[in-house]
C-alpha cells in the first residue's frame, strides 16, 4: 500500500510516466421493442424487456499527471489482452518514455509472464524492460486511481443499454476524448501518513507500541 501511495505523491517525471490500469466489464443488451423517442413534455421510453448479447471487457489506462485516459474494449480479459495493452502503453501511448510505472491490482494475468506467454522472447523482453509494476494490496483496489475513472465512465457513459461491442467502443472513445480535452484528472489526497493513522489495524507494530 505504502509503495503505491508514495508513487502517487512523487513529482511528475516526463521520462517516466505513471499509469494506473484497471478492468471492468459491461453486459450488452439488445432492445426487443423499439424505444419511444423523447417528445416535448414526454421523456424517452424503453421497454423493460431486452435480449442478452454477450459481454465486453474494458481496460482503463489512466495517467494522472498527463490528464489522460484511454479505454480499450476487448472481447475478453485474458493474459493476451493484458499483454497487448502493455505493448500499447510502450509503443503507442508513451513511446518516448524511458520507463513506465504501472499501478494495478494483483489479478493473475497482471504479470510480465503474460508478455512471455504471448510474444516472442525478444519482444516480451523489450516491453518488460520498459515497465515497472506496482501492485495494490488485496482488498485495496480503492487505491487504484483507474478504478475511480471507471466509476466516472460508468456514470457518464455506460448507464444505458448498449447493444454490442462496436457501439461500446464508439461511446467510450467519445467519452475519453471529451474528458481528455477538458483536462480532467484526479487530485489524490490520501497519503502514507494518513494510512498509518486511519488504517492502524494494518500496522501491528504501531498497535503494540500504543498499547504497551
Q: What is the pTM assigned to this prediction?
A: 0.83
Tell me whether residue 43 is exposed, middle or buried, using C-beta atoms within 10 angstroms of its C-beta: 0 to 12, 13 to 18, 19 or more.
Answer: exposed
18-22, 105-109, 139-143 — which one is most confidently predicted on average?
Answer: 18-22
Please give the full DSSP string across 97-165, using - where no structure is assigned. -S-EEEEE---TT-STHHHHHHS-HHHHHHHHTTEEEEEPPTT-GGG-HHHHHHHHHHHHTSSS---SH
Of 107-111, 150-154, 208-212, the least confident: 208-212
pLDDT-derived band at 75, boundaries 50, 70, 90: very high
What's the pLDDT at 93?
98
With 0-12 CB in 10 A as exposed, 13-18 as middle and 19+ as buried, what is 109? middle
Categorise residue 23: left if φ over 0, alpha if ψ from -120 to 50, beta otherwise. Answer: beta
CATH topology of domain 2-28+50-179: Nucleotidyltransferase; domain 5 (3.30.420)
Here the cell at position 136 is 495494490
Q: What is the pLDDT of residues 79-90, one digit of tens each?
A: 999 999 999 999
Q: Would you state the cell numbers that stand for residue 85, as one nine-digit string?
A: 495493452
Q: pLDDT tens digits for 127-183?
A: 999 999 999 988 777 889 999 999 999 999 998 888 999 999 999 999 999 999 999
Mean residue pLDDT of the chain comes to 87
Amino acid at each position: 500500500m505504502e509503495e503505491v501511495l508514495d508513487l502517487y505523491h512523487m513529482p511528475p517525471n516526463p521520462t517516466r510516466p505513471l499509469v494506473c490500469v484497471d478492468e471492468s466489464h459491461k453486459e450488452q443488451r439488445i432492445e426487443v421493442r423499439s424505444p419511444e423517442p423523447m417528445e416535448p413534455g414526454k421523456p424517452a421510453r424503453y421497454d423493460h424487456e431486452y435480449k442478452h448479447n454477450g459481454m465486453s471487457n474494458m481496460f482503463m489506462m489512466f495517467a494522472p499527471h498527463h490528464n489522460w485516459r484511454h479505454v480499450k474494449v476487448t472481447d475478453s480479459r485474458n493474459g493476451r489482452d493484458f499483454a497487448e495493452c502493455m505493448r500499447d502503453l510502450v509503443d503507442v501511448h508513451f513511446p518516448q518514455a524511458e520507463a513506465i510505472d504501472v499501478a494495478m491490482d494483483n489479478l493473475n494475468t497482471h504479470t510480465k509472464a503474460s508478455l512471455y506467454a504471448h510474444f516472442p522472447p525478444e519482444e516480451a523482453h523489450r516491453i518488460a524492460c520498459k515497465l515497472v509494476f506496482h501492485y495494490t494490496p488485496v482488498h485495496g483496489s480503492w487505491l487504484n486511481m483507474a478504478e475511480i475513472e471507471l466509476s466516472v465512465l460508468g456514470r457518464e457513459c455506460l448507464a444505458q443499454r448498449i447493444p454490442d461491442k462496436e457501439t461500446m467502443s464508439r461511446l467510450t472513445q467519445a467519452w475519453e476524448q471529451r474528458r481528455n480535452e477538458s483536462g480532467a484528472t484526479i487530485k489524490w489526497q490520501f497519503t502514507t501518513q494518513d494510512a498509518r493513522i486511519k488504517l492502524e489495524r494494518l500496522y501491528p507494530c504501531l498497535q503494540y507500541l500504543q498499547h504497551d
